[in-house]
Amino acid sequence: MAYDPENIFARILRGEIPCKKVYEDDWALAFHDINPLMPVHVLVIPKGPYVSLDDFSAKAPAEALGGFLKAVGEVARLMGVDESGYRIVANSGADANQEVPHFHVHVFGGRRIGGRMIKPQD
């Protein structure tokens, strides 16, 4: 799938739409999900134009891949769930019900997450 530069996260990255920012560095922006499913529900997105994890891993330079992963860990620490625990989810494509076609990782936490759920409501 071609990257759509008008997707909502691209617009957040360009500052056209506000977000509740948690963290930002050269590689990633993290912000609270507009419809939180858990006490902690933060989205972490790379700054480049990638649709999905496979797109990101195929096209991004190694320093962008590493920088993004470090940002996800930093978000877990900033949100105070590194000790209590958290779950990361990256929905990719139709079968995973990906809504926004800009690669993103959900960071869920702040309460016990049951079973082997993919998303808290599942």
Q: Compare residues 74 and 98 and give the one whose CB is closer to ligand 5GP.
A: 98
Contact by Cβ (8 Å): 38, 113: yes
Output the CA–CA distances (angstroms, integers) from residue 54 to 57, 113, 118, in the order listed. 5, 26, 19
Nearer to ligand 5GP, 40 or 43 (CB): 43
106 is an active site residue: no
Nearer to ligand 5GP, 17 or 70 (CB): 17
Q: State the minimum distance, in angstroms, from the CB of residue 100 to ligand 5GP.
A: 4
Nearest approach, Cβ of residue 34 and ligand 5GP (Å): 3
DSSP label at residue 112? P
Helices (H), 1-122: 8-13, 53-59, 62-78
Q: Which of 32, 41, 102, 104 is catalytic?
A: 104
Q: SS3 for 73?
A: helix
Minimum distance from residue 55 beta carbon to ligand 5GP (Å):
14
- For binding to ligand 5GP (CB under 6 A), which residues are involved? 8, 17, 19, 31, 33-35, 43, 91, 97-100
CB-based contacts of 74, cutoff 8 Å, min separation 6: 23, 25
Q: List, by residue number, the catalytic residues.
A: 104
